[in-house]
Amino acid sequence: MKTTLFAFGAILLACFSFAQQPAASAVPQKTLIHAAHLLDVKTGKTLDNVNVVIEGDRISSVTQGAPPSGAKVITMPNATLLPGFIDAHTHLTYEPNFGYQELGISIPKEALIGAKNARVTLEAGFTTVRNVGARGFTDVALRDSINEGLVPGPRMLVSGPPLSITGGHCDQNLLPYEYHATAGGTADGVEAVQHKVRENIKYGADLIKVCATGGVLSKGDDPKASQYTLEELKAIVADAHRLGRKVAAHAHGAQGIAWAAEAGVDSIEHGSYIDENGIRIMKEHGTYLVPTQYLGDWMRENAAKIGLPAMYAEKMKTVTAAMRQNISKAIQAGVKIALGTDAAVYPHGLNAHEFEVYTRLGLTPLQSIQTGTVNAADLLGWSDRVGSLEPGKFADIVAVEGDPLKDITLLQHPTFVMKGGVVYKNISSGRE
């Protein structure tokens, strides 16, 4: 017995002594990417024969010339490196399900859908997204799961349930009165919207999404009609900004765009009927426009195939017919543009088609690429960590085979995707 007690005591002492020893500091893994070219998205210059050294999840240096030794080397002799793309308007937990079929999708299933779409989006080259609308805070759960390493996906800023007036776009309008169905973000009046902003933040929202006008894929509302009053919008923005959150406003109609910009929102989503007054106010306030243009192309080609309900189809046809001309005017007038896709209206993974559409609206290929890199990073408030390939920023890197300034459609087919120093796609080496 004495021998046993002595041995047990020795084990305890050893465990205690071990616990007191400082943990050995892990040495960050060093990786080197040696590539033919790198596009400096800030200046538009293409650097040749480049070396990007990554330590842990950050870029430590960007040089030209012979590759330095002492690192794991990834060689890309024909590739152009770019920063990971940023989509400022996604709905990862949604799919292209329209009308009454939406009612059959549970919140738990949306969370699983989000996990699938997160990987698809990441492998399409989008290493950062802003998720602007999800039921039941499924986007919060998805963001946290990605951050914890449970599922692969892009960096996420999330809004939780979008704010809506009763019966407006972003409310639940598909069920009859006896069900008393109301969407999670529904709130009317200054006091109620203040409470909803605070509630969303309580449950994990990084930003606030507000539906300032009617929409297209919703029953019984008019995209041109304003929903929230100017006073309500000001209350939403004041509380969000005071609590350190930015505000994204879904807005199609001209008055709603102007009111939202005047209230101080950080971005206007869609902007289909923007007019000269809205352009003027947005420029005065430095408000970003997130145009979501490719969805119009995709819908024109696929609306009949997917059986878009008639109550949505006519609105989609009318709005998309007007939006290109109006968005082009805003671009020509110098409104700040950040890339956003509204992916979920069409299948996830096609996000990079948005770049090409912008070049048809008056942006150069470089300016278009900037909308989904430096501009979007600025809108998100993350310019210090993403949006360009510079020392100190996250090692979020995309590669394409060729020159995207000559052929912007190359962005639709990335051959390499790295997020935080981890490779998620590498076609050139035969691994995907």
For the domain that residue 253 is a member of, what is the CATH number? 3.20.20.140
| Domain-embedded: residue 337 | yes
The catalytic residue positions are 209, 342
pLDDT of residue 103: 87
What is the spatial distance between Cα 228 and Cα 288, in angstroms, rounded to a whole number?
Answer: 20
pLDDT of residue 98: 87
pLDDT of residue 28: 62
Q: Structural domain of residue 422, as residue ranges?
A: 30-84+388-429
What is the spatial distance between Cα 370 and Cα 376, in angstroms, rounded to a whole number?
Answer: 8
**Tokens at residue 291, please?**
């145009």
pLDDT of residue 72: 85
The DSSP-derived string for 24-81 is PPPPPPEEEEEEEEEE-TTT-PEEEEEEEEEETTEEEEEEESSPPSSSEEEEEEEEEE
| Domain-embedded: residue 141 | yes
What is the spatial distance between Cα 128 and Cα 419, in angstroms, rounded to a whole number?
Answer: 9
pLDDT of residue 70: 74
pLDDT of residue 27: 54
Q: Do the strands 126-131 and 155-158 form a parallel or antiparallel pair, or are they unpaired? A: parallel
| Domain-embedded: residue 373 | yes
pLDDT of residue 25: 44
Do residue 292 and residue 329 come from a single domain?
yes
The residues of the chain scoring below 50 in pLDDT are: 1-25, 429-432
Do residue 61 and residue 135 come from a single domain?
no
pTM for the full predicted model: 0.91
Do residue 314 and residue 415 come from a single domain?
no
pLDDT of residue 63: 95
Scan for tokens 């007038």, then name that residue: 333
Residue type, 45: K
- The C-alpha angle with vertex 419 and arms to 414 and 423, in degrees rounded to 5, equals 70
Do residue 46 and residue 136 come from a single domain?
no
Do residue 303 and residue 425 come from a single domain?
no
Do residue 267 and residue 406 come from a single domain?
no
Do residue 397 and residue 286 come from a single domain?
no
**Tokens at residue 311, please?**
């109550």
85-100 tens-digit pLDDT? 999 999 999 999 888 8
Do residue 79 and residue 101 come from a single domain?
no
The tally of domains found in the chain comes to 2
SS3 389: coil
SS3 138: helix
217-237 tens-digit pLDDT? 889 899 999 999 999 999 999
